[in-house]
Structure 1
Amino acid sequence: MRALVAAAIGLAAALAIVLTVTAIGVPSGETSPDPLLTTVPEHP
């Protein structure tokens, strides 16, 4: 019985998170125009 209650609480929490993200909106996902540094600097 405890497992069933825990599963129901987990499902309700996951549904609440999904609805919250849906209501707020997904981040735009834009990338930075600056290139990433892919080389290792030389050691002194």
Structure 2
Amino acid sequence: MLLYLEGVTGADIAEITGVTSDAVATKIHRFKAMLTRRFAEGGAA
């Protein structure tokens, strides 16, 4: 996620981490969805 926030492309993240670019996209999407839910609930951790 930090690489994504730094502006690194999904393809580059995949190369760095050794997973597919589809897996990177899925993980980023899920993390963003989790953050959206948490903030919609009032930020409870």
Residues matched between the structures, number = 27
Match among 18, 25, 32 for residue 35 of structure 2: 18
Two-structure CA RMSD over aligned residues (Å): 2.0
Q: Runs in 1 of length 4+ with deviation above 3 angstroms? A: none
The AA in structure 1 aligned to 2:37 is T
Structure with larger RCO (C-alpha < 8 A, sep 6+):
2
Runs of 5+ consecutive residues of structure 1 not aligned to the other structure:
28-44
Per the TM alignment, residue 12 of structure 1 is displaced from its structure 2 partner at its CA by 0.1
Per the TM alignment, residue 9 of structure 1 is displaced from its structure 2 partner at its CA by 0.2
Kindly name which structure, 1 or 2, has the bigger radius of gyration based on alpha carbons.
1
- The structure that is helix-richer by fraction is 2
The AA in structure 2 aligned to 1:7 is V
Runs of 5+ consecutive residues of structure 2 not aligned to the other structure:
1-10, 12-18
Give me the whole-angstrom Cα distance separating, in 2, the residues matched to 1:3 and 1:17.
21
